[in-house]
Every structure is written in C-alpha cells, then in structure tokens.
C-alpha cells in the first residue's frame, strides 16, 4: 500500500517509523526487567519467542507468561513480580551496560535499588562516588517524575 500511495506513502512510512522508533529497546528492557535466566532457557530465546508469539497468545497473560518462561513452576497470576530496574537505569545518562548489569545483580530488584545509598552504589566495581551520586540523583528525579505523572 505504501508504494501505491507515492508521496503520501512516504509520509505514512515516516509516521510509522516515528511511532515504532525505540519500541525494540523498550521491549528488550521490559523483558530483561522480569526475566530470570534458567539452565534450559535464556534471554535470547525469550526475545525470539516474543517476536513470534501470536496476538491471541500475547493477550492471554497466562499463556504469554508460560511461553516466555516468566513464571517458574505452576502458573500463578496472583504471584507478585517485581521489576529489576533495567528500564529505569537505562534512562539515567552515561551508565555503561556492564555497570548497569552489576548494579542490577547487586540489588536484585527495583525497590532495593531505589533504597540504595550513594555508599552502597559506590561499593560496586566501576561505579565510583561521582557516578554513584549521579545514579542516585537520576533515580530520585525519575521516581519523582513518575509520581507526578500519575497525579497530573
């Protein structure tokens, strides 16, 4: 259809690219936030499965969680799942991915990460005091913005 529309088709294509720009990164971060590696199932396999999952399966939360191996054991949708912090740390500028991974590994959950002090962050390899302070300030700013967005 885009080819047949000519000039309008190019406009539609640009609008589509603008709409889906960054979605791949967000999808990757969301999956990383809730995924836990298992001996027989790895993150790359979950990404491949997510790309091939049908719309019907994606809408059924229990089926989607089972296909992506997000629920360990018997699927219990009442069981709580907490994010690990990948999405929030990705929005803090100038943190290399290896450092982000060490921070996530150290604290394990977003709640523990948000409660961490500058000294706690400074203990992690390659963080340092100035980066620890920048991370703490960035997380506080993002949390404040998130709270304000809920009430506006």
Query: Both 90 and 56 in a single domain?
Result: no
Query: Both 63 and 111 in a single domain?
Result: no
Query: 6 is in which domain, residue-wise?
Result: 2-67
Last residue of a domain, one of 40, 67, 94: 67
Quick one: pLDDT band at residue 35, thresholds 50, 70, 90?
confident
Is residue 73 in some structural domain? Answer: no
Distance of alpha carbon 86 from alpha carbon 26, whole angstroms: 10
Is residue 74 in some structural domain? Answer: no
Q: Pick the closest to residue 117 from 136, 92, 140 (CA basis).
A: 136
Q: Is the pLDDT of residue 96 over 60?
A: yes
Instruction: Give me the number of domains the chain comprises.
Output: 2
- pLDDT tens digits along 15-34: 888 887 778 888 889 899 98
For residue 140 the two structure tokens come to 């506080």
Quick one: pLDDT band at residue 90, thresholds 50, 70, 90?
very high
Look up the CATH number of the domain holding residue 139: 1.10.150.20
Query: Both 6 and 63 in a single domain?
Result: yes
Quick one: pLDDT band at residue 95, thresholds 50, 70, 90?
very high
**Who contacts 99 (Cβ-Cβ below 8 Å, separation ≥6)?**
124, 126, 127, 131
Last residue of a domain, one of 13, 39, 67: 67
Question: What per-residue confidence (pLDDT) applies to 21?
Answer: 78
Q: Pick the closest to residue 67 from 82, 56, 57, 77 (CA basis).
A: 57
pTM for this prediction:
0.75
Query: Both 103 and 58 in a single domain?
Result: no
């Amino acid at each position: 259809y885009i080819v047949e529309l000519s000039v309008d088709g190019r406009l539609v294509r640009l609008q589509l690219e603008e709409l889906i720009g960054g979605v791949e990164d967000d999808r990757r971060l969301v999956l990383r936030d809730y995924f836990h590696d298992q001996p027989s199932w790895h993150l790359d396999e979950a990404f491949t499965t997510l790309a091939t999952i049908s719309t019907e399966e994606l809408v059924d939360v229990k089926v989607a969680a089972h296909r992506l191996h997000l629920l360990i054991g018997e699927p219990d949708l009442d069981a709580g799942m907490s994010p690990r912090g990948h999405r929030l740390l990705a929005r803090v500028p100038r943190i290399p991915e290896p450092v982000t991974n060490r921070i996530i590994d150290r604290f394990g959950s977003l709640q523990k990460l948000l409660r961490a002090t500058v000294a706690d962050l400074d203990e992690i390899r390659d963080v340092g005091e100035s980066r620890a302070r920048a991370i703490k300030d960035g997380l506080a700013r993002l949390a404040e913005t998130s709270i304000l967005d809920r009430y506006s």
